Amino acid sequence: MLRSAHLTRLFVAATLLALAVAAARAAPVRTEHVEAELVSERTALVPGQPLTVALRLAMQRGWHTYWRNPGDSGLPTTLAWKPPQGLSAGPIQWPVPQALPVGPLMNFGYEGEAFLLTEVTAASGLADSKLVTLTGRADWLVCKEICIPEGADLALTLPVASVSDADPRWAAPISSARGALPQALQGFAVSAVGVGQELVLTFTPRKEASDPGEAYFFPYKAGLIEPSAKQTLLRDGDAWKLTLAVANQRVGEFARVAGVITSSRGFAGQRAATLDVPLGGSIVAGTAPPAIATVPLALPADTSASSLGVALAFAFIGGALLNLMPCVFPVLSLKVLGFATHGGGRATMRLHGLAFAAGVIASFWLLAGALVALRAAGAQLGWGFQLQSPAVIAALAVLFFVMALNLSGVFDFGRLIPSSVATWDAKQPFLNDALSGVLAVVIASPCSAPFMGAALGYALAAPREVTFAVFTSLGLGMALPYLVLAFFPKWRARLPRPGPWMQRLRQLLAFPLYGTVLWLAWVLGAQLDNDAVLRLGVSLLLIALALWAWQSRSAGALRGWTVAALAGVAAAAAVVWPVVAASTPTAASPSTSIDSGGWQAYAPERLSTLVAQGRPVFIDFTAAWCVTCQVNKRLVLNSSETRDAFTRSNVALLRADWTRRDPAIGQALAALGRNGVPAYVLYRPGRKPLLLPEVLQQSTINDALATL
Amino acid sequence: MIFRSFAFALALGAAQAVVAATAGQSAPNFQLVDTQGKAVQLSDFKGRYVVLEWTNPQCPFVRNHYNTRNMQALQQRWGERDVVWLSIDSSNKSSGEYMKPSKLDLWMHSQGAAQKAVLVDDDSTTARLYQAKTTPHMFVIDPQGTIIYAGAIDDRPSTRPDDPPNARNYVQAALAQATDGKPVATSNSVPYGCSIKY
């Protein structure tokens, strides 16, 4: 009896299988690029039990179809069932997609073979031994270089039975596809915080977890996360943080982050998992503060006359203030000395003034030209960039030292330069004026006075003509005091009359220049090392010796002293050469002032991590060669009052040291609309970053922190 | 002190000038040559509404809107009302779908297209400037140069001929609302279609 029942079941099963093979195995539909069919995991529909069927798409090599969110372009595959009475079909259960880059865009989809699963349930009342045909319309877009919309009417006929067997052909691939479907992420607490254009997913393991490797997040909804943006997973303490970019053209409310997270080594073993978490931070409110650190320079859309006028005005004022900056003042002194000694008629004075102004403006044009050219070449540069090169620092140190020696009276230019040049020089005082104008600009560049940063930021991002206009305005501002002195004799009359005091003054003016040399030596030390400073020092010593020897020619054996002088210069050059050659300093640890007191070195990731934690962040963009920066640091940033204020407000402190070229810092400055240091910015949770003035006062810091 | 706060405001202004081409932002200017060889720049049309239509005759989504005469009808209707319609083909010269300007011109003629100009962006620069992703990808710019709509042409991402006439056309709606002095109800949508052949 038992045996007979078994036989009967076997017989029924065999019959059903035969039926299924005959009826269900309708040939797949072949379109131009895809082979499509409906396949079933089991050989029969059992009333009341769910059955997994799949839309199987086999794409031609190199062609792909799309996931539920197709990414930047494309269309999701659709499957519209026309289920017969007594049957219901669920939605498509999407397998984990692949990220498919197309040029700068990103698509999410499938290459090769894809099984899009659907659960079909037969009502429990459905009669046994009946054949049921499932029909559906599948539409898909298949793309390689080009896209072809394709579709097919598909059918799958199955018997209804009380038992079913695994389909010999499709049970294995369907069950493995089902096994690979992403399930809700286990073992991690996930949070999402968006700030500006960045969104950080934080995965905190509930217990010890191993490194997930590379991760990629596929969002369910389009228009929220930029599909083509790089996604980086970084370890942060016990947790991992995945940084995503908010869509450039964001559509709709962004209140939740939902999608599939994949990783090369798995989150606690899950290579692919779903997540759906609420989004915190400032994206929810709908405000989009300027992106931090990663924004490329973009052309400002607004170059209207009014904002241009304001920029020109500030450039002019900034240029005038440059005269009072520590590194320009020695030149101002020299120039004032020059006015006092030149004497001459009123017209001559005016010409002196105009020649100097021409020199200043010509240099600013040259700088603007270089800026435009370099910007076109995509170089990361900013105001003061010249001083990031040790060669330029060394050359300036030598130049200032020689000038200082001249002022001190160690030698005279009249004797140094061959008489023909010297007399030509003397006959061309206007050329002299123009050249000292050029010199003034060269040494002014590291000190971006107040307002300069904004004007430069504006000029750098503006069209070429505007850049030139702003630089012209800067030059005019800088030349202003000289022009005023040249054109208003009354004011000039307030200058002291020539006399023996001038020699003393000349000697006195040497000291600021020696001071400048010391400062340059310190900058060189910050850029390179102690050795470089010593080399520069020895070189300067040899130069002093050489100049002294040269001066002594008239007093002794002409030839001997000349040889000694030339040898001294050669030795000086040899000693300083390694410093000059080290124009691209090897990046060791930032050499200046990532000191204690809670300051950390700036890194874009560090900033975004801190911001994602919701902490306020203060960044000090600084450089050793920037005098204003050092003054601010000593007087304000390092004061105990400031330190206490920062601690009270729980502000994270980052220092971006631009003493040497660092593209990350250049980009961060550009994103803030600045191109020089100092720059001070306070990142406030959920609000626009607050840019502080370039000259800091205690009250500035207090006021800024009060806005937190 | 006053100067300092001015400088501060200016600096903030500069920081905000970093834009994405999305509704509410100023439309970045560009200059391109049309299929007739004439230079055209966006700023030529300041004071008028401008529609930018990213197009590619090889793309089935674009073809669907031309085959159904949906696109031409829009171009015609709004052209008569002084709206400047610019179609831009950003297929890179190196891509398989690049069409010579003369061929592109001929195709548009054969379709009875009625745009102001068909612009050739054969190095995709302008597409990058606008972060255009698909064909068609549509932008509507108001007379002040502000983008008032960015995204799909309508709410039916498909290539079915019966969809364009029955869809909710976002470009039509944006132009109608804006020229009526009303706010644009849908100013952003997810663009659909073929990828731009960068």
pLDDT in tens, A332-366: 656 655 655 555 667 777 777 788 888 888 888 88
Query: What is the Cα–Cα distance from A109 to A460, expressed in whole angstroms?
Result: 41
Predicted local confidence at residue A605, as pLDDT: 78
Q: What is the pTM assigned to this prediction?
A: 0.51
* pLDDT of A423: 41
Q: What is the pLDDT of residues A167-178, one digit of tens each?
A: 989 999 999 999
Question: A450 and B3 in contact by Cβ < 8 A?
Answer: yes
Tens digits of residue pLDDT in A8-20: 555 555 554 554 4
Is B72 part of any domain? yes
pLDDT for A364:
82
Name the range with the highest mean pLDDT among A136-140, A337-341, A611-615, B180-184. A136-140
What would the two tokens of residue A32 be? Answer: 């131009």
Q: Do A73 and B21 touch (CB under 8 A)?
A: no
Residue B96 domain-assigned?
yes
Partner-chain contact B18 A291, CB within 8 Å: yes
Per-residue pLDDT at A160 exceeds 70: yes
Q: Which residue does chain B place closest to A78, by CA atoms?
A: B158
Domains of chain A: 2-180 (2.60.40.1250), 184-281 (2.60.40), 306-388+419-506 (no CATH), 599-706 (3.40.30.10)
Q: How remote is the C-alpha of A56 from its chain's centroid?
A: 44
Q: Can you tell me the distance from the alpha carbon of A489 to that of A478, in angstroms, rounded to the nearest whole number?
A: 19
Q: What is the CA radius of gyration of chain B?
A: 17
Inter-residue contact A155 to A133 (CB < 8 Å)? yes
Q: Is the ipTM of this complex over 0.85?
A: no
Q: B43 to chain A: which residues are within 8 Å by CB?
A: none
- Residue pair A382/A656 in contact (Cβ under 8 Å)? The answer is no
Residue B24 touches chain A, beta carbons under 8 Å: no
Please give the single-letter amino acid code of residue B6.
F
- A570: which residues sit within 8 A by CB, 6+ positions away? none
Least confident stretch, A597-611, A638-652, B10-24:
B10-24
Helix H, strand E, coil C: the string for A412-475 is CHHHHCCHHHHHHHHHCHHHHHHHHHHHHHHHHCCCCCCCHHHHHHHHHHCCHHHHHHHHHHHH
- Going by C-beta distance under 8 Å and a sequence separation of 6 or more, which residues neighbour residue B47? B143
Q: Per residue in A388-420, pLDDT tens?
A: 677 777 877 887 788 778 778 787 654 434 444
Counted domains in chain B: 1
- pLDDT for A13 equals 52
Residue range B136-183, pLDDT digits in tens:
999 999 998 999 999 999 999 999 999 999 999 999 999 999 998 888
Residue A487 has pLDDT above 70, yes or no: yes
Q: Tell me, what's the pLDDT at A671? A: 74
| Contact assignment for B195 to A105 by CB distance below 8 Å | yes
* Model confidence pLDDT, tens digit, residues B14-71: 333 334 578 888 899 999 999 999 999 999 998 999 999 999 999 999 999 999 999 9
Q: Mean pLDDT, to the nearest integer, of A450-455? A: 46
Q: Rounded CA gap, A466 and A456, in Å?
A: 11
- Residue B13 has a pLDDT of 31
Which residues from B are below 8 Å from A148, CB to CB?
60
pLDDT-derived band at A220 (thresholds 50, 70, 90) equals very high
In a domain, B14, yes or no: no
pLDDT at A331: 59
Q: Provide the pLDDT for residue B32.
A: 94
Read off the pLDDT of each residue in A659-686 and give the average, rounded to a whole number: 78
B10 touches chain A (CB under 8 A): yes
In the predicted model, is pLDDT for residue A457 greater than 80? no
Task: Show residues of chain B in contact with A451, CB under 8 Å.
Answer: 3-4, 6-7, 10
The minimum CA-CA distance between A174 and chain B, rounded to whole Å, is 29
| Share of residues in chain B with pLDDT > 90 (%) | 63
Average pLDDT of the residues in A448-456: 46
Nearest-Cα distance to chain B for A533, in Å, is 37
Please name the member of B15, B27, B197 whose beta carbon is closest to the beta carbon of A673: B15
Q: Chain A: nearest CA to B155, how far in angstroms?
A: 13
Percent with pLDDT over 90 in chain A: 17
In a domain, residue B22? The reply is no
Q: How confident is the model at residue B74 (pLDDT cuts 50, 70, 90)?
A: very high
| Window from A369-378, B55-64, B122-131 with minimum mean pLDDT | A369-378
Which residues lie below 8 Å from residue A548, measured CB to CB, with a gap of 6+? A410, A411
- Beta bridge partners of residue A692, listed in sequence order: A680
State whether A103 and B198 contact (CB < 8 Å). Answer: yes
Chain A contact for B26 (CB, 8 A cutoff): yes
- Check CB contact of B185 with chain A, cutoff 8 Å: no
Residue A138 scores a pLDDT above 90: yes
What are the tens digits of pLDDT across the range B84-124? Answer: 999 999 999 988 889 999 889 889 988 889 999 999 999 99
Smallest CA–CA distance, residue A197 to chain B, in Å, is: 11
pLDDT at A338: 63
Beta carbons of A628 and A448 less than 8 angstroms apart = yes
The Cα–Cα gap between B96 and B92 comes to 8
Q: What residues make up the domain containing B63?
A: 27-195
Mean pLDDT of A294-302: 26
What residues in B contact A143, CB-CB < 8 Å? 194-195
pLDDT tens per residue across span A520-575: 888 888 777 788 889 899 999 998 988 888 877 766 666 777 787 888 888 888 87
The share of chain A scoring above pLDDT 70, in percent, equals 73
Whether residue B16 is contained in a domain is answered as no
Binary contact (B58, A146; C-beta < 8 A): yes
Q: Is the pLDDT of residue A461 over 70?
A: no
Flag if A75 and B158 touch (Cβ within 8 Å).
yes
A-chain residues near B2 (CB < 8 A): none
Residues of B in contact with A302 (CB under 8 A): 17, 26
State residue A446's pLDDT score.
46
The per-residue pLDDT for A567 is 83
End-to-end C-alpha distance for chain A, whole angstroms: 86
Residue B18 belongs to a domain: no
Above 70 in pLDDT, residue B80? Answer: yes
Set of chain A residues whose Cβ sits within 8 Å of the Cβ of B197: 103, 145
Residue A144, classed as helix, strand or coil, is coil
Assess whether pLDDT exceeds 90 at residue A585. no
Interface of B with A in 27-56 (CB under 8 A): 27-29
**Residue B178 forms part of a structural domain:** yes
pLDDT in the model for residue A215: 92
Check B17 against A673: CB less than 8 A apart.
yes
Q: What is the CATH number of the domain that holds B109?
A: 3.40.30.10
In chain A, what are the helix, strand and coil shares in percent, each to the nearest 5?
45, 25, 30
Residue A21 has pLDDT above 60, yes or no: no
